[in-house]
Amino acid sequence: MTAKVIDGKAFAANVRAQVAAHVAKLKETHNIQPGLAVVLVGEDPASQVYVRNKHASTIEVGMASFEHRLPVDTSEADLLALVKSLNADPKVHGILVQLPLPAHLNSELIINTIDPAKDVDGFHISNVGLLGTGQKSMVPCTPLGCLMMLRDHHGKLAGLNAVVVGRSNIVGKPMAQLLLGDSCTVTIAHSRTKDLAAVCRGADILVAAVGRPEMLTGDYVKPGATVIDVGINRIERDGKAKLVGDVHYESAAAVAGAITPVPGGVGPMTIACLLANALTACCRANGLPEPEGLTA
């Protein structure tokens, strides 16, 4: 079998177009413009690239983008004061504090100071609890993007066996909660799981989020399974820099029914879902119906 390639780039472009259409309608019917604030502390090169892309995408869908770049030695008190001022600003519907923060700052305290209704990353402890108990919440962007692609490919997910490899708070755990919410039978596996390959071979849906380049080969994949590769690993091969996932693409694609490539799979969905979350937050803040198909 050769797997169908799930085109995350095209899927993300479609999500952004849907967001842009909703944003235009909000402006036209209610004179409301969703606003997204991004806070970057320090000059980490990867974070700077992310923030630049977020800013450009936010503008492109017609939202207001508020960028706050702070020096690396910003005090915790100053950062908390900025977060509180964004919480109070009615033009700001979504707040994202770029991680990782410099070591002298308490990330948990900063994230938990964001108004949960504006927490477009879904990292606030209230949103984690709401998702875990099946209540309406803000959902972390990458797992939300994976869920959208899975729903699109499968239709209903109920009854499918899902294995999530990786137990991070940002991807693995919320991914498992979302799949459970769609009535999958969910296993969370990780690098210490015994006979990981056998566990993975039980999966109709296999989500790889371990952060180890090309760890899951075709031996880990059930014939016909859907493989979602969340990994983004920079490696060097034949003297060249290369981006690879947590899945060994060639061997897995020979067995799977469908697979996301790296790059061009899950990656582009993260920013698209961030914009979807900012739109959702804006609709909720204004007592308007949520955009259909763009939430969990």
Q: Which residues bind ligand GUN (CB under 6 A)?
A: 50, 96-99, 121, 141, 270
Nearest residue to ligand GUN on Cβ basis: 99
Contacts of 163 (CB under 8 A, 6+ apart): 186, 187, 189, 199, 200, 202, 203, 205, 206, 207
Closest contact distance (angstroms) between CB of 170 and ligand GUN is: 7
Closest contact distance (angstroms) between CB of 145 and ligand GUN is: 10
Which 3 state secondary structure label does DSSP give 208?
strand
**The residue type at 246:** D
Which 3 state secondary structure label does DSSP give 16?
helix
Catalytic pick among 115, 119, 121, 229:
121
Nearer to ligand GUN, 18 or 270 (CB): 270
CA 183 to chain centre: 20
Nearer to ligand GUN, 15 or 141 (CB): 141
Nearer to ligand GUN, 26 or 137 (CB): 137
Contacts of 41 (CB under 8 A, 6+ apart): 70, 71, 72, 74, 79, 97, 98, 101, 102, 105
Q: What is the DSSP letter of 288?
A: P
Cis peptide before 100 (omega within 30 of 0): yes
Helix axes 172-181, 125-132, angle to 10 degrees: 30
Nearer to ligand GUN, 141 or 147 (CB): 141
Closest contact distance (angstroms) between CB of 121 and ligand GUN is: 5
DSSP string, 102-158: PTTS-HHHHHTTS-GGGBTT--SHHHHHHHHTT------HHHHHHHHHHHHHHS--T
Nearer to ligand GUN, 141 or 259 (CB): 141
Closest contact distance (angstroms) between CB of 38 and ligand GUN is: 8
Question: CB of 36 within 8 A of CB of 294?
Answer: no
Catalytic pick among 54, 118, 173, 222:
54
Catalytic pick among 18, 98, 177, 222:
98
54 carries an active-site annotation: yes
Closest contact distance (angstroms) between CB of 97 and ligand GUN is: 6
Nearer to ligand GUN, 96 or 163 (CB): 96
Closest contact distance (angstroms) between CB of 140 and ligand GUN is: 7
Residue with tokens 């969990």: 296
Q: Quote the tokens at residue 222.
A: 């059930």
Question: CB of 123 within 8 A of CB of 170?
Answer: yes
Which 3 state secondary structure label does DSSP give 265?
coil
Q: Which residues are catalytic?
A: 54, 98, 121
